[in-house]
Amino acid sequence: MAFSDLREFITMLEKSGDLVRIKKEVDWDMEVGAISRRVFEQAGPALLFEKIKDYPPGYAILNGPVATWRRVALALGLPPNSSVRQIYAAYEERRDKKIKPVVVKAAPCQENVMTGSEVDIYRLPAPMVHDGDGGRYVGTWDIVITKDPETGWINWGMYRFMTHTQNLLTGWPQATSQLAMMMKSRYLPLNRPMPIAIVAGCESLCHMVATDPFKPGENEVEYAGGLRGAPVDLVQCKTQDLMVPAHAEIVMEGEVLPDKIAHEGPFGEYPGYRSGTMSEGVLVQLTAITHRTNPILTLSTLGVPPDDSSIAASLTAAIAMKRGLQRRGVPVREVYVPPEGVTHLIVVSVERGGSRVARQVLDFFTARRVMVSKVIVVDKDLDPFDMNQVIHAFATKCHPAKGITVEHYEGRANALTPCFSADERRRLKGASVVFDATWPEDWEEESIPVKSSFETTYRDAVKEKVLANWESYGLGGKS
């Protein structure tokens, strides 16, 4: 069953014990961020701040809608105690389905409208998230919508946006992002502004789809419909030729300017650091702000994992990577993106390993824009979701000289990777490494070391006997 909007999801989270309403007045200036960060680091509930200093009663901020696997499961309509593998499977099964959106004439997201000189971003409680950020971030858990004027492709992405003045925002979609590609290829050559809508407070699967790296040309809104099992209602923007989710809480309409720039950043980003990307972004002239009555601004107080990015985006990234590896002919079984690795560390399980396959995997991850810096390739005899097993395989099977392959590149690195120097980040210069934790393909079977575990060492008859007698050994219930 699809949630019709964020409010319905909030109600469900509250019922399941996965959301706390904070009724005490809190300051948008770092207090909301500090509370949210601490709760993230305790893997705590989503937080709905209902009384924000300087803002009217009813204006609220929601932090962390999908920052735990429980909440991701609930967003997908699964039992909250579903395993990570089950959540991955459900997402993968639904990911290829498309349902076209439905266009509506009237929409909750346009209950209140500011246009022209009325546009004032400071009428929304954009938080100062971390001490030391470059400003107040109104776009942290958002959907950013842009349109290719030649093909009609509507791109949904998730990018950070900061208040600049009352009617200007600055933002930092990476220079290698799909938004950047569209701006550079379609609008900049003509010196034209690019229409943009920055949307906050949608039903959670819509936001998750915005984190999913679908190929250019794919309309994410149709995949959001497929994931939800119901179409997304869209409404025409008030001032831009764009469609936005009708049930969103807040829509900021505007234009990315082709010939003006301004200060942006820094920001405590998803890798868990404020790594210094600053003042190399875009400037947006706001043309309208529309919102529901008593709007709820969605927030993800990004930082060290877990948070919405490390949890939900690891799911969407993993499935997209698996599909990409399959298309390249890699004998991939499963891909796991451990939240602790903040999409920098990937585990790829393969049917058969060896250096050739490891190289194929590295080639896939470094072919275009490179968001991943470390990949561990493992054999199918272990569970890639179990990091104990992954670390054991890495420690014992990855040859310290022959098992490591590095690829260097420039112009397409992840500018947020903290271990890259400031100069490297600016030049988008970096490197990725694959750790081959599989047995070499040319080793004869009789020479491959035998894993000494209960499962692999003993004959079935012995294992069955031990399991049957487990309780009688005085070792508790069957395990």
Partner 1 sequence: MKREYVTFVRRLSDLSEGKRALFIKDLTPGPRKYDTKLVRAELSRDAARLPDGDTLWIRSETGRLQPQPWSMKVLEELPPYVPGQPWQDVFTSLRHLG
Q: Is 250 in the site for partner 1 (CB under 8 A)?
A: no
Only segment of 104-112, 254-262, 315-323, 380-388 that touches partner 1 (CB under 8 A): 254-262
Size of the site for partner 1 (CB under 8 A): 46
φ/ψ of 365, rounded to 5, equals: -75, -15
**How many C-beta atoms surround the C-beta of residue 99 within 10 A?**
18
Question: What CA–CA distance (Å, rounded) separates 309 from 42?
Answer: 16
Among 150, 241, 259, 460, binds partner 1 (CB under 8 A): 259
Among 17, 132, 329, 411, binds partner 1 (CB under 8 A): 132
Question: What CA–CA distance (Å, rounded) separates 130 from 122?
Answer: 18
Question: What CA–CA distance (Å, rounded) separates 89 from 95?
Answer: 10
Distances, alpha carbon 247 to alpha carbons 48, 151, 290, in Å: 18, 26, 11
Question: What CA–CA distance (Å, rounded) separates 59 from 105?
Answer: 25
Shortest Å, Cβ 260 to partner 1? 4
Q: Is 102 in the site for partner 1 (CB under 8 A)?
A: no
φ/ψ of 290, rounded to 5, equals: -120, 150
Question: What CA–CA distance (Å, rounded) separates 267 from 279?
Answer: 11
Query: Do 230 and 99 meet the contact criterion of CB atoms below 8 Å apart?
Result: yes
* Per-residue binding letters, 23-52, with partner 1 (x by CB under 8 A): ------x-----------------------
Query: Do 347 and 391 meet the contact criterion of CB atoms below 8 Å apart?
Result: no
Only segment of 65-73, 130-138, 342-350, 443-451 that touches partner 1 (CB under 8 A): 130-138
Among 134, 157, 271, 403, binds partner 1 (CB under 8 A): 134
Among 262, 304, 419, 433, binds partner 1 (CB under 8 A): 262
**What is the chain's Cα-based Rg?**
24
Q: Is 264 in the site for partner 1 (CB under 8 A)?
A: yes
Query: Do 33 and 128 meet the contact criterion of CB atoms below 8 Å apart?
Result: yes
Comparison of 55 and 394: residue with beta carbon closer to partner 1:
55
Comparison of 99 and 282: residue with beta carbon closer to partner 1:
282
Only segment of 258-266, 287-295, 314-322, 347-355 that touches partner 1 (CB under 8 A): 258-266
| Best CA proximity match to 229, nearest among 106, 90, 79 | 90
Q: Write the CB contacts of 465 (distance below 8 Å, at least 6 apart in sequence).
A: none
**Which DSSP category does 222 fall into?**
H
Q: Is 122 in the site for partner 1 (CB under 8 A)?
A: yes
Shortest Å, Cβ 285 to partner 1? 9
* Per-residue binding letters, 408-427, with partner 1 (x by CB under 8 A): --------------x-----
Comparison of 134 and 339: residue with beta carbon closer to partner 1:
134
* Per-residue binding letters, 163-202, with partner 1 (x by CB under 8 A): xxxx-x------x----x--xx---x--------------
Task: Name residue, tokens 């949630």.
Answer: 3
Among 102, 261, 404, 406, binds partner 1 (CB under 8 A): 261
**Residues that bind partner 1 in the complex, under the rule CB under 8 A:** 29, 54-55, 122-123, 128, 130-136, 163-166, 168, 175, 180, 183-184, 188, 256-266, 268, 274-283, 422
